[in-house]
Amino acid sequence: MHLTGRYPAWWDGKEFTAPVVMWAAGVTSEVTRDSVQRTLMGRVNAIGTGAIPKDAIKEQSSKRGVADAIDTAILRHGGGADVQAGQSILTFKSYDQGRAKFQSETLDAVWLDEECGEDIYTEVLTRTNVRMGPVYCTFTPLLGMTNVVHRFLLEPSPNRIALSMTIDDALHYTPEQRAAIVAGYPAHEREARTKGIPMRGSGLIFPVSEDRIKVEGFPIPAHWKRICGMDFGWDHPTAGAWLAHDADTDTIYVYDAYRVREAPVVIHAAAFKARGAWIPVAWPHDGNNDTAAGPNLASQYRAQSVAMRTENAQFPETPGGSDRPGSRISVEAGVQEMLTRMETGRWKVFAHLNDWFEEFRLYHRENGKIVKLRDDCLSASRYALMDLRFAVNKPAPIRGITMTGWRG
Indicate if 341 and 255 belong to the same structural domain. Answer: yes
Q: Is residue 121 part of a domain?
A: yes
Most confident option among 70-79, 118-127, 149-158, 392-401: 118-127
pLDDT band at 402 (very low <50, low <70, confident <90, very high): very low
**Could you tell me the CATH number of the domain that includes residue 340?**
3.30.420.280
Boundary (domain end) residue, out of 115, 139, 163: 139
Q: According to the model, what pLDDT value does residue 202 have? A: 52
Q: Is residue 81 part of a domain?
A: yes
Triad 189, 191, 193: Cα angle to 5°: 60
Q: Is residue 400 part of a domain?
A: no
Indicate if 131 and 36 belong to the same structural domain. Answer: yes
Stronger pLDDT, 131 or 26, i.e. the higher one? 26
Share of the chain above pLDDT 90, in %: 67
Indicate if 124 and 216 belong to the same structural domain. Answer: no
User: What is the C-alpha separation between 128 and 350, in angstroms, rounded?
Assistant: 42
pLDDT tens for 288-308 read 765 545 578 999 999 999 999
Indicate if 359 and 231 belong to the same structural domain. Answer: yes
Q: Is residue 187 part of a domain?
A: no
Lowest mean pLDDT among 21-25, 46-50, 203-207, 380-384: 203-207
pLDDT at residue 200 greater than cutoff 90: no
Q: Is residue 284 part of a domain?
A: yes
CB 78 within 8 A of CB 17: no
Q: According to the model, what pLDDT value does residue 403 have? A: 40
Residues belonging to the active site: 114
212-230: average pLDDT: 97
pLDDT tens for 100-121 read 999 989 999 999 999 999 999 9
Q: According to the model, what pLDDT value does residue 368 have? A: 72
How many domains does the structure of the chain reveal?
2
User: What is the C-alpha separation between 236 and 376, in angstroms, rounded?
Assistant: 8
- Computed on alpha carbons and rounded to an integer, the radius of gyration of the chain in Å comes to 28
pLDDT band at 374 (very low <50, low <70, confident <90, very high): confident
pLDDT at residue 231 greater than cutoff 50: yes
Q: Is residue 281 part of a domain?
A: yes
E-assigned strand segments in 78-231 = 86-94, 109-113, 135-138, 203-204, 214-215, 225-231
Share of the chain above pLDDT 70, in %: 90
Indicate if 131 and 230 belong to the same structural domain. Answer: no
pLDDT at residue 406 greater than cutoff 90: no
Displacement of CA 386 from its chain's centroid (Å): 26
Q: Is residue 395 part of a domain?
A: no
pTM passes above 0.75:
no
pLDDT tens for 123-182 read 999 999 998 999 999 999 887 777 888 888 877 788 999 998 899 999 999 999 999 999
Q: Which residues contact 127 (CB under 8 A, 6 or more apart)?
A: 23, 102, 105, 106, 107, 110
pLDDT band at 81 (very low <50, low <70, confident <90, very high): very low
Average pLDDT value over all residues in the chain: 88
CB 201 within 8 A of CB 190: no
Helix (H, G, I), strand (E, B) or coil at 396: coil
CB 18 within 8 A of CB 2: no
Q: According to the model, what pLDDT value does residue 404 have? A: 42
Domain residue limits at 39:
21-139
Most confident option among 65-69, 165-169, 224-228, 351-355: 224-228
Boundary (domain end) residue, out of 139, 161, 178: 139
Q: According to the model, what pLDDT value does residue 83 have? A: 46
Most confident option among 25-34, 329-338, 369-378: 25-34
Q: Is residue 240 part of a domain?
A: yes
Q: According to the model, what pLDDT value does residue 387 have? A: 96
Lowest mean pLDDT among 189-198, 258-267, 339-348: 189-198
Indicate if 242 and 375 belong to the same structural domain. Answer: yes
Boundary (domain end) residue, out of 123, 139, 155: 139
Indicate if 252 and 362 belong to the same structural domain. Answer: yes
Indicate if 135 and 217 belong to the same structural domain. Answer: no
Indicate if 262 and 353 belong to the same structural domain. Answer: yes
Provide the sign of the torsion angle of the four alpha carbons 101, 103, 104, 109, taken in this order: positive
